[in-house]
Chain A
């Protein structure tokens, strides 16, 4: 959506469901990619490759993105992203969230999968509001 370039920022909070095999390690991979300065790239790759998110696949993605693989493996094996992920899980619980994806657009809650128009409507309304302020 080129028309929205510079006007929208996406902030990611991690909400891995406990009962899914690879949800947690995928979140760990995203946190480590972020710490190595490649968050956007890994985020997109994980969405594209899902549900192929087992440990070996994640390591292959880290290689593909030219991350420091040794550091990456250490991070996902030792769950070094736990501080961020546990904090986000706690936040999700406080917000009473139990489905993903869950969005907050300038603080307005949107739950579940919606079509692009639904988001566009809210985004354009928020941009109008921002102009008037």
Chain B
């Protein structure tokens, strides 16, 4: 019974957390051009090739 419960919790709680935990990269913004307000809560970094 305990084991079933553990398996149940794994699928219900732990697995979704694992799946959702995307890695977040930490990338320096220093000395790079930006568009928009400096203190915006969301930062999008774009690696661009203009051609």
Verify if A66 is at the interface (C-beta below 8 Å from B).
Answer: no
Contact present for B44 and A9 (CB under 8 Å): yes
Interface size class of A (residues with CB under 8 A): 35 or more
Which secondary structure characterizes the binding site on chain A?
mixed
Given contacts A17-B51, A53-B51, contact A91 B33 (CB under 8 A): no
Interface size class of B (residues with CB under 8 A): 20 to 34
The number of A-B residue pairs with CB atoms under 8 Å apart is: 138
Q: Enumerate chain B interface residues (CB-CB to A < 8 A).
A: 22-27, 29, 31-38, 40-51
Q: Enumerate chain A interface residues (CB-CB to B < 8 A).
A: 4, 6-17, 20-23, 26-27, 30-31, 34, 39-40, 43, 46-47, 50-51, 53, 84, 88, 91-92, 95, 97, 100-109, 119, 123, 126-127, 130
